[in-house]
Amino acid sequence: MDLYLHFILVNSEFNQGIADDLYEGQETEDNIKHLWEDELKVSEPVKDFKIRNNASYILAGLFPNDEAFSFEIWDMTIVDCTTESDNLMQFAVSKKLLKKTEKVIDEKTNETHLYFYLRDAMPMENPMDGVFILKTDFPKELKKLKS
């Protein structure tokens, strides 16, 4: 199956009442529903995936001096994917960032779409595609590198 992940930043200032009353329920230029959307397609066909809530995510990589780092981030929603070639992939979102989630399966096209609606009022870090971490949970050692 093809697996798509959609990360959507919800505009907390969107007013559905104004949209309903004046614009037949539609958003307008000054009353937008979503600030941005990041859509990812898993690069290989997916054999299986599971969603884990309240899980810990390991953010790992290399510092600029090639020294390895690994940080455990708590309270994450994680999508574990196994591709048809048995590659393992993970995507993760801090639980506090999530406003809601949705899964849409299209059996005709063999596609699954996972939607993660993110709160705009909470600052976040996006260290790599498909990973959104609450800024307060992001490792301080990595924040220094971004400055």
For residues 78 and 92, the answer to whether their CB atoms sit within 8 Å is yes
The pair of structure tokens assigned to 36 is: 């941005």
Q: Could you give phi then psi for residue 84, rounded to 5 degrees? A: -65, -20
Domain boundaries, the chain: 2-146
Q: How far is CA 20 from CA 33, 37, 115, in A?
A: 13, 23, 24
Helix (H, G, I), strand (E, B) or coil at 45: coil
pLDDT per residue of the chain (147 residues) written in tens, 0 to 9: 999 999 999 988 876 787 778 777 777 777 788 889 999 999 999 999 999 999 999 999 998 899 999 999 999 999 999 999 999 999 999 999 999 999 999 999 999 999 999 999 999 999 999 999 999 999 998 876 654
Q: 3-class DSSP state for residue 120?
A: coil
Pairing outcome for strands 2-10 and 34-41 = antiparallel
The distance of Cα 37 from the centroid of its chain, to the nearest Å, equals 10
pLDDT at 47: 97
Report which of 116, 147, 132, 94 is spatially closest to residue 7, judged by C-alpha positions: 116
- Cβ proximity of 125 and 103 under 8 Å: no
pLDDT of residue 101: 97
Name 57's bridge partners.
73
